[in-house]
Amino acid sequence: MNAILIIAGKEVRDGLRNRWIVGTTLLLAVLAFALAMLGTAPTGVLGVKPLAVTVVSLASLSIFLIPLIALLLSYDSIVGEVEHGTLLLLLTYPVRRGEILLGKVLGHCTILALATLIGYGGAGLAVGLGQGRDPQGWAALALLLVSTVMLGAAFICLATLISLLVRERASAAGLAVAVWLLFVVVFDVAVLGLLVWLKSGLDPALFRWLLICNPADLYRLVNLTGMENIRVFSGMAGLSESLRFSPWLLLALLGGWCAVPLAIALFVFRRREL
Amino acid sequence: MNAIVAEALGKRYHEQTALADVSFSLPQGTLLALLGHNGAGKTTLMKLMLGLIHPTSGSVRVLGQMPSAAALAFRRQLGFLPENVAFHDELNGRDTLRYFARLKGERPAVCDDLLERVGLSFAAGRRVKTYSKGMRQRLGLAQALLGKPRILLLDEPTTGLDPVLRREVFAILGELTRNGATVVLSSHILTELDARTELVAIMRRGRLAAWGTLPALCGNAGMPIRIRLAAPGGPASLAPHLNGFPVSAVDGRTVELTCSQQDKMAVLRHVAALGALVEDVEMRLPGLDDVYLHYGQGDDPE
């Protein structure tokens, strides 16, 4: 346990030193504030609650950005250390391989969580404090922050697995881009294509399961359908009952997207010879 | 007591045999020099002793345990310096060592002493990125010494070090072995090891080609002693007086003759009696270089 914290602590300090944390936080904060400004501009006309609108825009932005940041952060987690020659020495220390892996994942998740909480949280606070009582808006913001960190964690675990499956850093980078494209772009287009092709309509149960197969879609569902007031602004009000999931279930499924790649990564790393 | 025992140890990677049929036992408190070309199996042997890889045949026991199956605490007793050691470039030297100290369960306070010991305190606050090869090597040695290891495995520890530092490294290693630690080091640079190693192992194509103390290896190899004589009158003036010894002229004033270890004193007495015909005598004893050339490069049995 102690070793996990030592390694995680080192990853976080590295993140501070190479300005990953500062850069990501600034990026997220600037985008969040920009969306908050743009998003709240038409609210007077429409009469909607601005915090909810901000949450919807931030969620749509995060689906593209957070997986990318997470993959960039962790794609060379292990293969980078193998190539650099630092892993060999680390493995001769009284540290379990699982502890090395968990320490790195924990460290990277902490970096992303810090950036998200400060960047998005700051923008959310600024927007939310400027208006009256809005408990549902605050709840939506809290759900956004939690689910964003979990989305990031899921892609950090996927990236860590990638970093174990390849022999070279360059292949890891390529695979990471492919994973991003698959989950963030291709998957939805493919599902859409399937819907158009099957003119009779997809079995709702099957559609439900298809969306669970993609952490980005889970995240979308959490944030766009999780709260009653949000559904109205996100254009999801007419969503069929079959797609109504409890936000807790969706978060749990997102947790599954962290646990499964991590478990595979642990299995692969333990068996690996260097 | 034996610190490391290998029995018919072998390691294959797919079709490639990296190590085959290596057997030895290394007593505690000794310094073993592992010699061999690149690809002779030195690093594979070290990785097996560290438990980083599993043997495909035979076994190795370090401090009585199988390294690849030993409990975590076993690794607390090891110190390892990999070949071309690398660190995280953005950290400074002191923080790097403290990180390793924490992982090994050592107090970070010992780090300053260790840096002092390897002559790196002057650069402790500088980022490792700015370190020269020799400084990285010293930092690598410092981390290997963390936690008073009972077994030290050093892969090419002296590359990049200047002669003064090399001597200091061997002084540190000597002190460790006197305190009961067992040291295995591999090296290309043979001259520096000559006087300092007790045991020598020469590896060739994954096999142990020779094992023993340096004098024993020289004796077994039947390596000749070469004596050079400076003859002011030229080689021709000496030739009639050196009957029975293989002689060759080196240049216009120098003659080289070879003899066995047993004949050495007889030859020297004979030469001394030649008076003014010989101006100077220079004797070359077989060193590690010659032993290595003899055992490490012979015809392959395959």
* Strand, helix or coil for residue B167: helix
Distance separating alpha carbons of residues B28 and A42, to the nearest angstrom: 80
Q: What number is the average pLDDT over the span A46-65?
A: 77
A16 in contact with B at a CB cutoff of 8 Å? no
Q: Which residues of A82-93 are buried (b: 16+ CB within 10 A; e: fewer)?
A: bbeebbbbebbb
User: Which positions in chain A touch B91 (Cβ < 8 Å)?
Assistant: 14, 17
Q: Do A94 and B99 touch (CB under 8 A)?
A: no
Q: Do B73 and A3 touch (CB under 8 A)?
A: no
Distance separating alpha carbons of residues B47 and B81, to the nearest angstrom: 11
Rounded to 10 degrees, what is the CA torsion of B216, B218, B222, B224? -140
Angle formed by the axes of helices A50-74 and A20-40, nearest 10°:
160
User: Which positions in chain B touch A14 (Cβ < 8 Å)?
Assistant: 88, 90-91
Distance separating alpha carbons of residues B112 and B119, to the nearest angstrom: 10
Q: Do A96 and B50 touch (CB under 8 A)?
A: no
Q: Do B90 and A93 touch (CB under 8 A)?
A: no
User: Which positions in chain B touch A95 (Cβ < 8 Å)?
Assistant: 72, 103
A151 CB-side CA count, 13 A:
32
Distance separating alpha carbons of residues B137 and A20, to the nearest angstrom: 29
Long-range contacts of A184-189 (CB under 8 A, 24+ apart): A184/A63, A184/A64, A184/A67, A184/A68, A184/A216, A187/A213, A187/A214, A187/A216, A187/A217, A188/A214, A188/A216, A188/A217
B82 CB-side CA count, 13 A:
20
Q: Do A273 and B53 touch (CB under 8 A)?
A: yes
Distance separating alpha carbons of residues B244 and A219, to the nearest angstrom: 94
Distance separating alpha carbons of residues B65 and B79, to the nearest angstrom: 16
pLDDT tens digits, A135-187: 778 888 888 999 999 999 999 999 999 999 999 999 999 999 999 999 998 99
Q: Do A6 and B86 touch (CB under 8 A)?
A: no
Distance separating alpha carbons of residues B140 and A88, to the nearest angstrom: 13
Q: How many angstroms away from the CA of A161 is the closest CA of chain B?
A: 21
**Tokens standing for residue A23:** 């850069």
Residue A202: per-residue pLDDT: 65
**Tokens standing for residue B264:** 């050495």
Write the DSSP symbol of residue B223.
P
State which amino acid sits at residue B98.
R
Write the burial class of residue A18 (CB in 10 Å: 0-12 exposed, 13-18 middle, 19+ buried): exposed
Is residue A76 a contact partner of residue A163, using CB atoms and an 8 Å limit?
yes
A96 in contact with B at a CB cutoff of 8 Å? yes
Residue B300: per-residue pLDDT: 47
Q: What number is the average pLDDT over the span A105-125?
A: 91
Distance separating alpha carbons of residues A74 and A52, to the nearest angstrom: 31
Check residues A151 and A32 and name the one with the higher pLDDT: A151
Residue A45: per-residue pLDDT: 47
User: Which positions in chain A touch B102 (Cβ < 8 Å)?
Assistant: 6
Q: What number is the average pLDDT over the span A43-64?
A: 73
Spell out the residues 6+ positions from residue B95 whose beta carbon is closer than 8 angstroms to its own.
none
Is residue A85 a contact partner of residue B84, using CB atoms and an 8 Å limit?
yes
A5 in contact with B at a CB cutoff of 8 Å? no
Q: How many angstroms away from the CA of B186 is the closest CA of chain A?
A: 17
The residue of A88, A96, A270, A271 whose CB has the most chain B CBs within 10 angstroms, and thus the best one to mutate to test that interface, is A88
Distance separating alpha carbons of residues A136 and B142, to the nearest angstrom: 58
Q: How many angstroms away from the CA of B193 is the closest CA of chain A?
A: 25
Kindly state the percentage of chain A with pLDDT values over 90. Answer: 46
Place of tokens 């990049």: B160
B284 in contact with A at a CB cutoff of 8 Å? no
Residue B68: per-residue pLDDT: 85
Per-position DSSP letters for B171-209, written without gaps between them = HHHHHHHHTT-EEEEEES--GGGTTT-SEEEEEETTEEE
Assign A132 a pLDDT band (cuts: 50, 70, 90): low
A87 in contact with B at a CB cutoff of 8 Å? no
**Tokens standing for residue B75:** 């690794």
pLDDT tens digits, B178-192: 999 999 998 766 666
User: Which positions in chain A touch B184 (Cβ < 8 Å)?
Assistant: none
Q: Do B104 and A93 touch (CB under 8 A)?
A: yes
Check residues A229 and A19 and name the one with the higher pLDDT: A19
B65 in contact with A at a CB cutoff of 8 Å? no
Nearest to B47 by CA among B36, B37, B62, B35: B62
B75 in contact with A at a CB cutoff of 8 Å? yes
Place of tokens 């997102």: A254
Distance separating alpha carbons of residues B50 and B151, to the nearest angstrom: 10
Would you say residue A112 has pLDDT above 90? Answer: yes
Write the DSSP symbol of residue B130.
G
Its pTM surpasses 0.90: no
ipTM here: 0.84
Residues of chain B falling short of pLDDT 70: 188-197, 297-302
Check residues A116 and A124 and name the one with the higher pLDDT: A116
Would you say residue A200 has pLDDT above 50? Answer: yes
User: Which positions in chain B touch A273 (Cβ < 8 Å)?
Assistant: 52-54
Q: Do A94 and B72 touch (CB under 8 A)?
A: yes
Kindly state the percentage of chain A with pLDDT values over 70. Answer: 86
The residue of B88, B128, B150, B152 whose CB has the most chain A CBs within 10 angstroms, and thus the best one to mutate to test that interface, is B88
Assign A47 a pLDDT band (cuts: 50, 70, 90): very low
Residue A238: per-residue pLDDT: 57
Would you say residue A111 has pLDDT above 90? Answer: yes
Q: Chain B: residue nearest A90 by CA? A: B100
Would you say residue A231 has pLDDT above 80? Answer: no
**Tokens standing for residue A67:** 């997986």
Would you say residue A107 has pLDDT above 80? Answer: yes
